[in-house]
Amino acid sequence: MFLKRQTKTLSALPRGPVEYLVVGLGNPGRDYENTRHNAGFLAVDALAEKLGAKIDRLKFKSLCGDAMIGEHRVLLMKPSTFMNNSGEAVRDAMQFHKIPIEQVLVLFDDVSLDVGRLRIRRQGSDGGHNGIKSILYQLATDTFVRIRIGVGAPPPDWDMADWVLGRFSNEEISHLSKLVDCVVEEAVPELLTHGAERAMNQYNGKVF
Which residues carry out catalysis?
Answer: 37
SS (H, E, C) the chain: CCCCCCCCCCCCCCCCCCCEEEEECCCCCHHHCCEHHHHHHHHHHHHHHHHCCCCCEEECCEEEEEEEECCEEEEEEEECCCHHHHHHHHHHHHHHHCCCHHHEEEEEEECCCCCCEEEEECCCCCCCCHHHHHHHHHHCCCCCEEEEEECCCCCCCCCHHHHHCCECCHHHHHHHHHHHHHHHHHHHHHHHHHCHHHHHHHHCCCEC
